[in-house]
Chain A
Amino acid sequence: MTAGEPGRPQVPGYVHTTGRTETETEIGWSLETLLRVTSSALPLNGPLSSRSHRRLFSDCAGLTSVVEAAAHMRQPVSVVRVLAEELVASGHLAVPTPHHPTRAHDSAPSRELLQEVLDGLRNHEFA
């Protein structure tokens, strides 16, 4: 699961703990989890060559999120999440490392992150 080319972006540890048949809510995977391609040149082989895998991989041409990819693919988030987990495990996709870690036991945003959200909303021009 950890095999990959040197220089490939590090996948956060929680991603490795997420089995594809896991049905419990996993900390770290959510609707808004971000996805980016590691290298668009990586071929999709074997079980990763399904139409759905290829569609998700091409939908991640730029930085996006699980829920946005799902909406564009017209697939349930639950389905796209499984595809995303597989493509992260294979090294095709990566989840960017958050600049503010969330609290371990309940994933609550940190004080610093909440401050950044508030500042962002205050500076944002709504109109």
Chain B
Amino acid sequence: MASETTSSPDGRPPLPVRKGRAGRYLPDTVTQSVKILVVGPFGVGKTTLTASVSEIEPLRTEERMTEASVGVDDLRGLESKTETTVAMDFGRITLNPALVLYLFGAPGQRRFWDLWQGLVVGAVGLLVLVDTRRLEDCFDVLDQWEAHRLPFIVAVNRFPGSEDFDDDEIREALDIPFSTPVVQCDATDPLQSGEALRTLAAHALACREEEALK
């Protein structure tokens, strides 16, 4: 299931190898599916992270939404409506012969989530992807997701030119509990992205065990 890489003896970085090594269909032995939601503002790297760990080329699903135009005065009293297509990219990882994990790069804005029925329901947790150059773009995302009370971690996608902040500075700026894991992650790197997923899964398990003790 792991991608092939071409290692070179002189220490150069390996060449990227095209995805698509997993088949279109899941192994017949799979009986259960779970999901992790990768959330964050537009352009933060949700699809990049999904693509770096997915065993298939990320796929795209679209839903149409109709909304009333805001701030439009219509003297005839007719409501002006526009139709928008909202896209969500996703990938998958077959974790063992019986279990598959889906990764959904969910849109940042709350009003889009309800387009996909059951998007949030039953998720392992949320991987909140942030860009420290525009941290405020994530405030809205966090406001909304915290209301769902799903376990989440913060992954700081390191963009070239972004300054270093330590984990506590990130927690303070985002006003999230001290117990929330924060990881640094280059979303283009499968190893770092995979480690972020492991951190989230471990956190979700810890949250569940803590809940059971209450």
* Cβ contacts under 8 Å, A64 to chain B: 24-26
Residue A42, interface by CB 8 Å: no
With A76-B61, A117-B124, A120-B96 known to touch, is A34 a contact of B117 (CB < 8 Å)? no
Q: Are B98 and A99 in contact, with the CB atoms below 8 A?
A: yes
Contacts of B133 in A (CB 8 A): none
The answer on a CB contact under 8 Å between B118 and A29 is yes
**At the interface with chain A, which of B76-84, B134-142, B204-212?**
B204-212
| Docked-complex contact A117 and B201, CB < 8 angstroms | yes
Kindly identify which residue among A30, A118, A123, A125 contacts B122, using a CB–CB cutoff of 8 Å: A30
Chain A residues whose CB sits within 8 angstroms of the CB of B100 once the complex forms: 32, 34, 65
* B residues at A contact (CB < 8 Å): 1-3, 5, 23-28, 30-35, 53, 59-64, 90, 92-93, 95-96, 98-102, 104, 115-119, 121-122, 124, 190-191, 193-195, 197-198, 201-202, 204-205, 208-209, 212
Chain B neighbourhood of A117, CB < 8 A: 34, 95, 99, 101, 124, 201, 204
CA distance A102 to B33 in the complex (A): 11
Let me know if A113 and B34 touch, CB within 8 A. Answer: yes
Inter-chain contacts of B27 with A (CB < 8 A)? 63
Interface majority SS on B: helix, strand, loop or mixed?
mixed
- A124 lies within 8 A of chain B by Cβ: yes
Whole-angstrom CA separation of A17 from B148 in the bound complex: 25
- Tell which of B28, B198, B205 touches A63, judged by Cβ atoms closer than 8 Å: B28
Q: Is the CB of A97 within 8 A of B31?
A: yes
Provided the pairs A109-B122, A111-B208 are in contact, do residues A62 and B26 lie with their beta carbons within 8 angstroms?
A: yes
Contact B208 A124 (CB under 8 A): no
A–B pairs, 11, beta carbons within 8 Å: A26-B117, A62-B28, A63-B30, A107-B122, A109-B34, A117-B99, A120-B95, A120-B99, A121-B194, A124-B95, A127-B3
B118 to chain A: which residues have CB within 8 Å?
Answer: 25-26, 29-31
Q: Could you say which of B30, B53, B99, B119 contacts A31, with CB atoms under 8 Å apart?
A: B119
Q: Which of B32, B53, B201 contacts A98 (CB 8 A)?
A: B32
| Given A31-B119, A121-B198, A126-B194: A99 in contact with B32 (beta carbons within 8 A) | yes
| Contacting pair A71 B122 (CB below 8 A) | no
